[in-house]
Amino acid sequence: MLLNCVVVDDESLAREVLESYLRRLDFVKSIRLFGNAREALAYLESHTADVLFLDIEMPGMNGIDFLKSLTHPPITVFTTAYRNYAFEGFELGVIDFLLKPIAYPRFLQATEKIRDFLALKEQNARLDDSLVASSTAETLPDSIFVKSGVQRIKLCFEDVTHIQGLKDYAIIYTNTSKIVIKGSIKAMLDIFPPGRFLRVHKSFIVAVSHITRIERNRLLLGSNQIPIGRNYKDEVEKVLLDHRR
């Protein structure tokens, strides 16, 4: 899939860097650069874009207000010099967060994440909650089936590390793979067993057994860093305390 990309940043050097990075990629079809959020907004009202690279601190209209104003926002990557915006970005459904100055290898990671999401999204996978496997009638279900095309794939709950909500989709992560399905993060709470899975953020559910460390505002699940939302922090600490007992 060839991508139409839009870059919105009031700093000319930042736009030039992202343009040079994007021109190295053979899957980028077009690049539009904007130094003004309102001009970019006018463009997106009448044109479609696949990917949006969006600065946050801009005069007139900041990136957060800009993204909120879009009826159908493209896949969005925040690009900013301010680390503290990462949590707000996840709440808005951005797929990644690049901290300036942006190194090319880190930029490539973001673009690969975008391509993975688009490729998995094309598979049209969905959870089939009519097919739930359990070991005995007395135990809680230990797996769910994911329907992708004509296939039904068994997904064991113990293999799932976390789930990320992204717009109208959810990305289910395991130690070895990931599956993108149509459905909200809230819908996932009705499928994955409570007690074993915990919502820790507006956009994240984690498997309690895979948590390796808790820090002030985030959880570590192996190499994965998951933000803890302000509204979920007390419940997270309570559940983890009970789990350790």
What was the pLDDT predicted at 198?
93
- Asked if residue 134 belongs to a domain, the reply is no
Write the pLDDT tens digit of every residue in 187-239: 888 888 888 999 999 889 999 999 998 887 889 998 888 989 888 888 888 88
CATH of the domain at 190: 2.40.50.1020
| Distance, CA of 47 to chain centre | 24
- Asked if residue 113 belongs to a domain, the reply is yes
Range with lowest mean pLDDT among 6-10, 51-55, 148-152, 170-174: 148-152
| Distance, CA of 109 to chain centre | 13
Q: Which residue among 98, 121, 144 closes a domain? A: 121
Q: Is the domain of 117 the same as that of 172?
A: no
Average pLDDT over residues 117-132: 68
- Asked if residue 137 belongs to a domain, the reply is no
Average pLDDT, rounded, for the chain: 86
**Strand pairing partners for 166?**
169
- Work out how many domains the chain is built from and give that number: 2
Q: Which one has a higher pLDDT value, 63 or 182? A: 63
The highest-confidence range among 16-25, 56-65, 129-138, 217-226, by mean pLDDT, is 16-25
For the entire predicted model, the pTM comes to 0.74
Q: Is the domain of 109 the same as that of 168?
A: no
Residue 189: name the closest of 201, 198, 178 by CA: 198
Average pLDDT over residues 138-148: 71
- Asked if residue 149 belongs to a domain, the reply is no
* Cβ-count burial 215-239 (b if 16+ within 10 Å, e if not): eeebbebeebebbbbeebeeebeeb
What was the pLDDT predicted at 131?
47
- Asked if residue 144 belongs to a domain, the reply is no
Average pLDDT over residues 20-33: 97
Residue 158: name the closest of 134, 138, 137 by CA: 134
Q: Is 121 helix (H, G, I), strand (E, B) or coil?
A: helix
- Asked if residue 204 belongs to a domain, the reply is yes
Q: What is the residue range of 203's domain?
A: 157-244
- Cα–Cα distances in Å, from 227 out to 102, 120, 141? 21, 24, 28
